[in-house]
A and B are shown apart, each in its own frame.
Chain A
């Protein structure tokens, strides 16, 4: 059974940093790209970032480029999202999502975690 378990969310002040983790199980981890998708309270979904199965290729939404970094440790079956210079508009539930296809780039998502809430506020 595929499982994705996010952690690391919490309350952080504007300008602060936070690192999210997503521990995965139930599939061949390094064969699949993984993404982070966020959802602000009461709003829709926004793709944030993706990383290829081997970790050599990364992709970012314009809204987070230069502030967020995605990376993965294939020995620990874990993907991370390092977030810096956080803003109020980054407040959201952050979901980890597994790519359905298994290619290097992100496409569509067949499994999602339950999400971790990040609140940016003073």
Chain B
């Protein structure tokens, strides 16, 4: 099983700042089969990024994904108030697993 480790656990930032979230896999994720989701309290997750770097439909371009192999990054260029949430990475190259999440909170 591919284990995904997300860091940091919590990121404290102010609106307008840049957020950089990391997702590290225990083994290489084939064909960049990696997705990112956003989840707000009491809501279902929302797909942001798939294929490591492709934005899902309707996702603002301040969200971007990058990486390959075992190291992936989600970047939010300028945080909007609605971006404070928990973010999960998920790999689908070998079965499916999720990372433990990164909470982006208001500083």
Contacts and interface: CB of A to CB of B under 8 A. Distances in A.
Interface of A: 35, 37, 44-47, 50, 59, 61-62, 95, 100, 106-110, 112-115
Contacts, number: 55
Interface string B33-72: 1010101000111110010000011000000000000000
Given A106-B92, A115-B44, 17 more contacts: A45-B98, A61-B95, A95-B45, A100-B50, A100-B56, A106-B96, A107-B33, A108-B35, A108-B50, A108-B90, A108-B92, A110-B47, A110-B56, A112-B45, A112-B46, A114-B43, A114-B44
16 contacts: A35-B96, A44-B88, A44-B98, A45-B45, A47-B98, A50-B96, A95-B45, A100-B50, A106-B92, A106-B96, A108-B90, A109-B35, A109-B45, A109-B47, A110-B56, A110-B57
A112 B37 CA distance: 11
Contacts of A113: 44
Contacts of B99: 44
Interface of B: 1, 33, 35, 37, 39, 43-47, 50, 56-57, 88, 90, 92, 95-101
